Amino acid sequence: MIARQAIMNGEQAVVGYELLDRSHGRTSHTAASDVLVMFSALSHAGSEELVGKTLLFVNCTHESLSGGHLELVNPDKVVLEIPPLVMPDAQEIAARQPVLAQLRDHGFHLAFNQTVLESAYAPWLPLADFIKLDLSVLPVDQATVLINYAQRSSKAELIAEKIETAQQYDMVSSLGVAMFQGYWFARPALVQTKLLNPAQAHVVELLNLVRKQASTDKIEEVLKKDAGLAFNLMRLINSAGLGLTHEITSFRQAVMLLGLKKLFRWAALLLTASRHGGPPPAVGQTAVVRGRFMELLAMEFLSAEQADEAFLVGIFSMLDQMLSMPLDKALELLDLPGEVLSQITRHDGTLGQLLQLVKACETNDDSDFYTALQNTPLTSQQVNMAHLQALAWSDQMCEI
């Protein structure tokens, strides 16, 4: 379930989304939920949000910010809401700043709450495009001080949120705040997710065709065979997150506009989500964790292209469990190059060594871990950090 909440800017409204816990109606704050809300919110943005200056505000956690799912989104339409850290440690704030800066350089807008105005968060303040001030917890005198300070120290647009009375609105607007959110304007609307699970065989076939750079005609044939694939792709391509000015009505247009690289990444993630009466949901989640873990490690010392390959090696190394068949037979379905097969099955090459290291982390085998670590230029601290970030994907990833 997704909450859709308007943010008013004069007569114009931008749109914010957040994921709600299905059983209790509370906001979920896991990284896997961020992946779900990113895909679901962008897929469910209406056609009126495909044009003009409308922005989509999406809640995030730090663990999800470097995920491959962001590659599928046109950053111009998306504002990532960045939460404060649980413990505002100066080293951790400084360590996370490059990731935030990279997202902003890539074109994403960043929003923070009022804690970004604290001195500890000084490295983040120049990155803020929006600062949200929560009037439910700020007394009038403190809100006034923060607004004045923000206007002097930042170029960010200010958003007064949780406005419930005309008096609150009058107060912040008199101080120059021009964007507002709260029950006084509108209550959130709940949006029921509408996604279909495709058949695993069709996802595998799509992966093969895309990897071989098959013709658009052949890719289109696969999409026409599976309602789940077709529906999810058309929802994605027509989402506000891709920033198109008109709706796409054919598979051919969708494939050409998305591009083969993004289509391959989307299909690989989708494979972990396709149940079709097969493996339990945890298998798909573990595969995504392993793929993301591999990618994060590769990014430390390999090229971007090799990091992309590491993600796929990680996911495909669990193909036997996802498809409930022997690994060699499962890998034959993808018709992968011999080099990739040897990395997965014999742990050959750099990515094969990384796979050994990741498996050792999963089993908590200290002996295997340190043996595998010696074959890489990584430190145990780098590996542990990457593992923690990857594990944050493990809750509900399969609902993309």
Residue 227 and residue 200: Cα distance in Å, rounded?
12
Residue 134 and residue 138: Cα distance in Å, rounded?
6
Coil, helix or strand at residue 145 = helix
Residue 244 and residue 51: Cα distance in Å, rounded?
7
Which stretches of the chain score pLDDT less than 70?
1-54, 66-74, 185-199, 224-232, 234-251, 269-282, 284-285, 323, 333-336, 392-400
Angle at 39 between CA 37 and CA 41, to 5 degrees: 60
Residue 241 and residue 246: Cα distance in Å, rounded?
13
Residue 28 and residue 144: Cα distance in Å, rounded?
31
40 neighbors 1 (Cβ within 8 angstroms): no
Token couple for 200: 């695993």
Domains of the chain with CATH codes: 2-191 (3.20.20.450), 200-399 (no CATH)
Residue 369 and residue 359: Cα distance in Å, rounded?
8
Predicted confidence at residue 282, as pLDDT, reads 62
Distance between start and end Cα atoms, the chain: 13
Token couple for 2: 């997704």
Spell out the residues 6+ positions from residue 327 whose beta carbon is closer than 8 angstroms to its own.
Answer: 317, 319, 320, 344, 345
Predicted confidence at residue 62, as pLDDT, reads 80
Longest dimension (CA), the chain: 69
Spatial CA neighbour of 299 closest among 396, 385, 207: 385
Q: How far is CA 101 from the centre of its chain?
A: 16
Residue 6 and residue 180: Cα distance in Å, rounded?
9
Residue 104 and residue 106: Cα distance in Å, rounded?
5
Residue 113 and residue 390: Cα distance in Å, rounded?
25
Q: pLDDT tens digit string along 194-230?
A: 444 566 777 778 888 887 888 888 887 777 666 566 6
Spell out the residues 6+ positions from residue 176 whose beta carbon is closer than 8 angstroms to its own.
Answer: 147, 151, 158
254, containing H or E segment:
helix 251-258
Residue 167 and residue 170: Cα distance in Å, rounded?
5
Predicted confidence at residue 121, as pLDDT, reads 93
The burial of 359, by beta-carbon neighbours within 10 Å (0-12 exposed, 13-18 middle, 19 or more buried), is given as middle
Return left, alpha or beta for 390; rule: phi > 0 is left, psi -120 to 50 is alpha, else beta: alpha
Angle at 270 between CA 195 and CA 266, to 5 degrees: 105
3 neighbors 44 (Cβ within 8 angstroms): no
Please tell me the number of Cα atoms within 13 Å of 95 on its side-chain side.
Answer: 10
304 neighbors 397 (Cβ within 8 angstroms): no
Whole-model pTM above 0.75? no
Coil, helix or strand at residue 221 = helix
Amino acid found at 273: A
Predicted confidence at residue 132, as pLDDT, reads 93
